[in-house]
Chains A and B, each alone.
Chain A
Amino acid sequence: MTLATTVLAGAKDRVLPPSIPFRYFGAAVLFHPGLWLLVLIDAPETVGFSGGTGLSLAALHILTLGVLATTAMGAALQLLPVATRQAMPAHWPARLGFWLMVPGTLMVGHGMATATGWAMALGGAMAATALAMLGVLIAINLMRARDLGLVAAHGQVAIFSLFALLVLGLLLVFNFAHGFLPDHRAVARAHVILAGYGFMGMLVAGFSQILVPMFALAASPDRTLGRAGLWLAVLALALGVAGALGGVNALVIAAIVAGLAATAAHLTAMARVMRKRMRKRLGLSFVMIRVAWVLLPLSLTIGLLDQLGLLGERGGTLFVFVLFAGWLLTMLLGVLQRILPFLATMHPAGDGGRMPTLSQLTAEGPLKVATICHLAALAVSTAGIATGQELVLRLGASVGLAGAIAFAVFAAPIFWRLMRRRSRASNPENQTSG
C-alpha cells in the first residue's frame, strides 16, 4: 500500500480530518525555530556539551520531541489508519495526544533548561503518554495490516524502540532529581541510540519504502535489500543498546559496523529506485533527502570515530548533532516540504474553486531560502562544534534560525488554506458569500 493509495483510497471513515495530522505538522514547524534559537543563546555550553541539564539538553529535546516526533506522529496518523484499510476506533486519542505532546514538550524544555525536576517529570510524563498512545495506535494498525511487508516490519521495530526509549527517558528524568541510576550516561547513550536509530530511524526507513518511489515515480525498492537492511538494523540496535547499557565499547563498535552495513543496504535500495525513476526533475525536497542520505552514514562514522577515541571531548556532541539535526531533521524537512502541499491538494478549499497545483501551494522563494540556510547552518554549526568555536556555532545557529523562519513562511499559506477550508466547512453560509 502506498501513500497515494492510503490517501486516495481511504473511504471517509478511514481518512482522518486534515486538522489532525496538520496540527502535528504545524507544531513541528513552530518548534523548529525554537531549536536554533536555543542553540544560538547557549552556544558556549553547546560546543562542549557533555550531558546534564541546561539549554543544550532543552534544545535537543525541542528538536527530538518538538520537531522530529511531532512530524512522525502527523505522518503516521495520516498514513496508517488507511494503509491497513482499517478505520481508527476513534479520533480523540490523536487529538488528546497533541494536547499532551505540545505542552509536555514545552514543559520538558523548561525543566531541562532550568533544572526544574517537577517540570521535567510532568512534561516528560505528558510527552511519554502522548508517544505511548501513538505507539499503541500504530501497533494496533500494524497488527491489522495484511500485506504491508517491509513498511510494517520497520514500523514494528520503531514501536518497540519507542517504548524502550520512553522507559529509559523517564528513568533519566527522574534520575536528575533522585540519582538512583548507577550510570546516568550509559542509560543516556542507550536512550539516544533508541531515539535516533530505533524509533525515528526505523520510521524514516519504513516510510522511505513508500514515499521515495511515489515522489520519484519509480519501482518499489528491492525487497531483498530491504529485508537485509532491516535485520542488520535490528542487530545494530540490539548490540548498540546492550553495549551502551553495559559499558562495553566493543559491542557499540560492532553495532556501528552493523549499522553501516544496514545503511549500505538501505541506501543501495534507494539509489536503485532513483536510477529507475520516471520523474527526472525532483525539486528542492530531494536535495534535502539526498543530503540526508549522506548524513546517515556520516553520523555512524562519527560515532565510530568517537568510540575509537579519535574525536576528542567534542566527539559525542558532534555525533548527536549530525544524527538529529543532520540526518533526521534534514530528511524530515525534505519530506515535509513535499508532503505538506501534496496533502493540501487533496482537500478542496471548499470555495467551489478547482484543486490547486503543487506549485500554487509552494512558496518557492521562502523554500529556497529555507533549504540553503538549513544546509549552510548544518555545515557551519558542525564546524563550530568540531573546532569548539562558539562564535562559529552562533553563526550556524543564526543561519539555521533564518532558515527555520523561512520554512514557516513557506508552510504558513498551506495551513491558512486548510484553516479557511475548515472555517467554510463549519459555516456553509461563507461558501456562498465568499
Chain B
Amino acid sequence: MMDYMRSINRMLHDEHMATIALLERIESTLAAHRKAPPDAKAPDIAAVLRDLVASVEADISVHFAFEQDELFTRLSEAGDTGMTSILQEEHDVILPLGEQVSGLARTAIDSGFTEESWAEFRRLSAELVERMIAHIQKEEMGMLAALEEILDEDADMAVMMRYAELR
C-alpha cells in the first residue's frame, strides 16, 4: 500500500479502512456463533447488524457508484480497461449480495434470527466478507496506485468535489 499523494485516494483509503474494520467484526460474530444463532437484540450483535445495513445501503452503494461513474471511466481512458472490467464485474456481484445480506440483517433486527435465517445469513455474509476483502485488496493495491499515476491536481480536485456532492 502506498503513501497517497491524491486527496481522493486518501478518502477512498479511509473508507476502505472503515469497511475492513466492519468486515472483521462481522467475521468475528460469525466465528463466535457457528452453531446456534445469536440473540439479535444483544447490544454487540445489534450494533454489528445496524452498521452492516448502514454500510451497504449508504456507504458501499455510493462508493461503488462514484467509482464506476468517475474513476473507472478515467482509468479506461488511460488504457486500464483490464482492471476496470474486473472491478466492475466484482461490483456487479458484491452489491446485490450486500443487499441480500442487508435485508436479512434488517429482518433480524426486527424479529431476531431463526436457525434457518441464521444459516442463510452466515453463508451469505461470509461470502460478502470474502468478496469485499479481495475487492478492497485489488482497489487498494491496484486502482489507487493507478489513480496516483493518472490524476493531476486539478483532476483530483474535480473528482473530490463530485464525491462530496454524491455524499
Contacts and interface: CB of A to CB of B under 8 A. Distances in A.
* A, B bound: yes
Interface of A: 1-5, 7-12, 15, 213-215, 217-220, 278-281, 342, 345-346, 348, 354-355, 357-359
25 contacts: A3-B141, A4-B138, A4-B140, A8-B87, A9-B142, A9-B145, A11-B80, A11-B81, A12-B82, A213-B1, A213-B141, A214-B1, A214-B141, A217-B133, A219-B2, A278-B16, A278-B17, A279-B133, A281-B24, A281-B27, A346-B86, A355-B89, A355-B93, A357-B130, A357-B131
Nearest to A210: B141
B83 interface: yes
B20 interface: yes
B118 to A, nearest CB: 20
A78 to B, nearest CB: 14
Given A5-B145, A214-B137, A278 B130 contact: no
Contacts of A342: 134
A4 B137 contact: yes
A1 B142 CA distance: 8
A119 B54 CA distance: 67
B79 interface: yes
Most buried by B among A12, A220, A278: A278
Given A2-B141, A5-B146, A217 B136 contact: yes
Given A1-B145, A8-B138, A220 B17 contact: no
Given A217-B20, A217-B136, A4 B141 contact: yes
A218 B83 CA distance: 21
Contacts of A3: 141
B9 to A, nearest CB: 13
Given A278-B20, A355-B93, A357-B131, A217 B1 contact: yes
Contacts of B87: 8
Interface in B93-116: 93
B59 interface: no
Contacts of B17: 278
A407 B21 CA distance: 32
Given A9-B142, A345-B134, A359-B130, A15 B82 contact: yes
Contact of A8 (B21, B27, B143): B143
Q: Interface size class for chain B? A: 20 to 34
A interface, over-half SS: loop
Interface of B: 1-3, 16-17, 20-21, 24, 27, 79-83, 86-87, 89-90, 93, 127, 130-131, 133-134, 136-138, 140-143, 145-146
Contacts of A278: 16-17, 20-21
Contacts, number: 83
B94 to A, nearest CB: 10
Nearest to B1: A219
Contacts of A1: 145
A1 B23 CA distance: 27
By DSSP majority rule, is chain B's interface helix, strand, loop, or mixed? helix
Given A217-B136, A217-B140, A278-B21, 9 more contacts: A9-B80, A9-B83, A11-B79, A217-B1, A220-B2, A278-B20, A280-B24, A354-B89, A359-B130
A346 to B, nearest CB: 7
Contacts of A281: 24, 27
B136 A8 contact: no
B145 A2 contact: yes
Contacts of B136: 217
B90 A355 contact: yes
B11 to A, nearest CB: 16
Nearest to B126: A359
A207 B81 CA distance: 25
Nearest to A277: B1
Contacts of A345: 134
Nearest to B97: A354
Nearest to A6: B142
A280 B25 CA distance: 11
B38 to A, nearest CB: 20
Contacts of A358: 130, 134
For the complex of A and B, list the 5 residue pairs with the smallest distance between their C-beta atoms, beginning with the closest. Answer: A4-B141, A4-B142, A8-B83, A8-B142, A2-B141
B82 A11 contact: yes
A417 B105 CA distance: 34
B128 to A, nearest CB: 10
B82 A279 contact: no
Nearest to B75: A9
A220 B1 contact: yes
Contacts of B20: 217, 278-279
A308 to B, nearest CB: 42
A354 B140 contact: no
A354 B142 contact: no
A7 B145 CA distance: 12
A15 B141 CA distance: 17
A312 B140 CA distance: 51
Contacts of A217: 1, 20, 133, 136-137, 140
